[in-house]
Amino acid sequence: MDLENQQRIIDAAEKFGAGNVVVLLGSADPEGAGLYAETVTVGDPTFAGPLAGVSLGLPVYHVFEEDIKAEADQGIWQEQIEMMEMVLDTAALAGSVAEMREQHSQTKL
Protein backbone atom coordinates (compact mmCIF):
# COMPACT_ATOMS: atom_id res chain seq x y z
CA MET A 1 0.00 0.00 0.00
CA ASP A 2 1.45 3.34 -0.96
CA LEU A 3 2.65 5.58 1.79
CA GLU A 4 0.08 8.32 1.26
CA ASN A 5 -2.81 5.88 1.59
CA GLN A 6 -1.29 4.46 4.77
CA GLN A 7 -1.21 7.96 6.23
CA ARG A 8 -4.81 8.60 5.17
CA ILE A 9 -5.90 5.47 7.02
CA ILE A 10 -4.01 6.47 10.19
CA ASP A 11 -5.57 9.93 9.98
CA ALA A 12 -9.08 8.50 9.58
CA ALA A 13 -8.60 6.06 12.47
CA GLU A 14 -7.39 8.90 14.71
CA LYS A 15 -10.15 11.27 13.68
CA PHE A 16 -13.10 8.89 13.89
CA GLY A 17 -11.75 6.16 16.18
CA ALA A 18 -10.63 2.74 15.00
CA GLY A 19 -14.02 1.27 15.91
CA ASN A 20 -15.76 3.62 13.47
CA VAL A 21 -13.65 3.00 10.40
CA VAL A 22 -14.11 0.21 7.84
CA VAL A 23 -11.58 -0.36 5.08
CA LEU A 24 -13.15 -1.43 1.79
CA LEU A 25 -10.71 -2.76 -0.79
CA GLY A 26 -11.22 -2.90 -4.55
CA SER A 27 -7.85 -4.31 -5.58
CA ALA A 28 -7.72 -6.69 -8.52
CA ASP A 29 -5.06 -9.11 -7.33
CA PRO A 30 -5.62 -11.56 -4.44
CA GLU A 31 -2.02 -11.38 -3.22
CA GLY A 32 -2.12 -7.58 -3.22
CA ALA A 33 -5.52 -7.55 -1.50
CA GLY A 34 -4.09 -9.79 1.24
CA LEU A 35 -1.14 -7.42 1.70
CA TYR A 36 -3.44 -4.39 1.94
CA ALA A 37 -5.60 -6.22 4.48
CA GLU A 38 -2.48 -7.12 6.47
CA THR A 39 -1.32 -3.48 6.35
CA VAL A 40 -4.50 -2.10 7.92
CA THR A 41 -4.72 -4.81 10.56
CA VAL A 42 -1.25 -6.03 11.60
CA GLY A 43 0.80 -3.22 10.07
CA ASP A 44 2.86 -2.56 6.94
CA PRO A 45 4.67 -5.84 6.14
CA THR A 46 7.25 -3.98 4.03
CA PHE A 47 8.12 -1.69 6.97
CA ALA A 48 8.29 1.21 4.51
CA GLY A 49 5.30 3.32 5.43
CA PRO A 50 3.58 5.05 8.35
CA LEU A 51 1.81 1.79 9.29
CA ALA A 52 5.11 -0.05 9.86
CA GLY A 53 4.78 -1.56 13.34
CA VAL A 54 1.33 0.03 13.81
CA SER A 55 -1.45 -2.55 14.33
CA LEU A 56 -4.74 -0.76 13.78
CA GLY A 57 -6.80 -3.99 13.66
CA LEU A 58 -9.37 -2.30 11.41
CA PRO A 59 -12.26 -4.28 9.95
CA VAL A 60 -11.31 -4.84 6.32
CA TYR A 61 -13.44 -6.19 3.47
CA HIS A 62 -13.18 -6.64 -0.28
CA VAL A 63 -15.96 -5.15 -2.39
CA PHE A 64 -16.64 -8.61 -3.87
CA GLU A 65 -17.48 -10.18 -0.49
CA GLU A 66 -21.13 -11.20 -0.37
CA ASP A 67 -21.85 -9.08 2.74
CA ILE A 68 -20.68 -5.96 0.93
CA LYS A 69 -22.41 -6.77 -2.35
CA ALA A 70 -25.67 -7.24 -0.42
CA GLU A 71 -25.36 -3.67 0.90
CA ALA A 72 -24.85 -2.18 -2.58
CA ASP A 73 -27.55 -0.61 -4.75
CA GLN A 74 -28.06 -3.28 -7.39
CA GLY A 75 -28.54 -0.75 -10.17
CA ILE A 76 -25.23 0.93 -9.43
CA TRP A 77 -23.59 -2.46 -9.00
CA GLN A 78 -24.69 -3.43 -12.50
CA GLU A 79 -23.58 -0.13 -13.94
CA GLN A 80 -20.17 0.11 -12.25
CA ILE A 81 -19.00 -3.27 -10.96
CA GLU A 82 -20.72 -6.20 -12.66
CA MET A 83 -18.20 -6.25 -15.52
CA MET A 84 -15.19 -6.62 -13.23
CA GLU A 85 -17.00 -9.32 -11.29
CA MET A 86 -16.74 -11.43 -14.44
CA VAL A 87 -13.10 -10.59 -15.04
CA LEU A 88 -11.58 -11.08 -11.59
CA ASP A 89 -11.22 -14.09 -9.32
CA THR A 90 -13.76 -12.84 -6.80
CA ALA A 91 -13.59 -15.92 -4.55
CA ALA A 92 -9.82 -15.64 -4.20
CA LEU A 93 -10.04 -11.90 -3.55
CA ALA A 94 -12.74 -12.30 -0.90
CA GLY A 95 -10.94 -15.27 0.68
CA SER A 96 -7.61 -13.50 0.86
CA VAL A 97 -9.07 -10.48 2.67
CA ALA A 98 -11.39 -12.56 4.90
CA GLU A 99 -8.44 -14.61 6.09
CA MET A 100 -6.60 -11.52 7.33
CA ARG A 101 -9.77 -10.09 8.84
CA GLU A 102 -10.57 -13.28 10.75
CA GLN A 103 -7.08 -13.34 12.21
CA HIS A 104 -6.32 -9.71 12.87
CA SER A 105 -9.33 -7.37 12.78
CA GLN A 106 -10.42 -6.28 16.24
CA THR A 107 -13.96 -5.49 15.13
CA LYS A 108 -16.20 -6.77 12.35
CA LEU A 109 -19.35 -5.51 10.66
Partner 1 sequence: MPNAAIKSTVYCLNHTPELGLQYGTTPCLERRDKPDSPFLANLPGFIQPYEDAVRYAPNLTYIGAMTVEQLEEHPLPWHSNLASAPIRFGKYGEIMPEDEFLGLLDICDVFDLVWLETSFAESVRGKLNAHPVLDAEVLKRLKGGRDIAAIRDEIAGKAALPLYFAGEVVGCCRRAHEVDETLSAHVILENLASKAGGVLALLHLLKKAGMEPGEVDFLVECSEEAVGDMNQRGGGNLAKSIAEIAGCVNASGLDVRAFCAAPVNALITGASLVASGARRNVIVLAGGALPKLFMNSRDHVKKEHPALENCLGSFAVLLTPDDGTAPVIRLDALGKHSVGAGASPQAVTTALVWDPLRKAGLNFADVDKYAAELQIPEITLPAGAGDVPEANAKMIAALAVVKGQLERAAIGEFVSRHGLVGFAHTQGHIPSGVPFLGHAADAIASGDMKRAMIIGKGSLFLARMTGLSDGASFLVEASSGEPVGSLTRDEVKTILLDALAELAHTLRAD
Examine residue 7 and tell whether it contacts partner 1 (CB under 8 A). Answer: no
Identify the residue among 78, 103, 106, 107 touching partner 1 (CB under 8 A): 78
Examine residue 46 and tell whether it contacts partner 1 (CB under 8 A). Answer: no
Examine residue 14 and tell whether it contacts partner 1 (CB under 8 A). Answer: no
Identify the residue among 83, 106, 108, 109 touching partner 1 (CB under 8 A): 83
Q: Which has the closest alpha carbon to 58: 39, 35, 83?
A: 39
Examine residue 10 and tell whether it contacts partner 1 (CB under 8 A). Answer: no
The CA dihedral of 68, 42, 45, 22, to the nearest 10 degrees, is 30
Q: Which has the closest alpha carbon to 21: 85, 79, 89, 106?
A: 106
Q: For partner 1, give the closer residue by CB, 70 or 87.
A: 87
Examine residue 28 and tell whether it contacts partner 1 (CB under 8 A). Answer: yes
Q: Could you tell me the CA-to-CA distances from 93 to 10, 31, 53, 75 in Å, in that order? A: 24, 8, 25, 23
Which amino acid does the sequence have at 25? L
Residues binding partner 1 (CB under 8 A): 28-29, 31-32, 78-84, 86-87
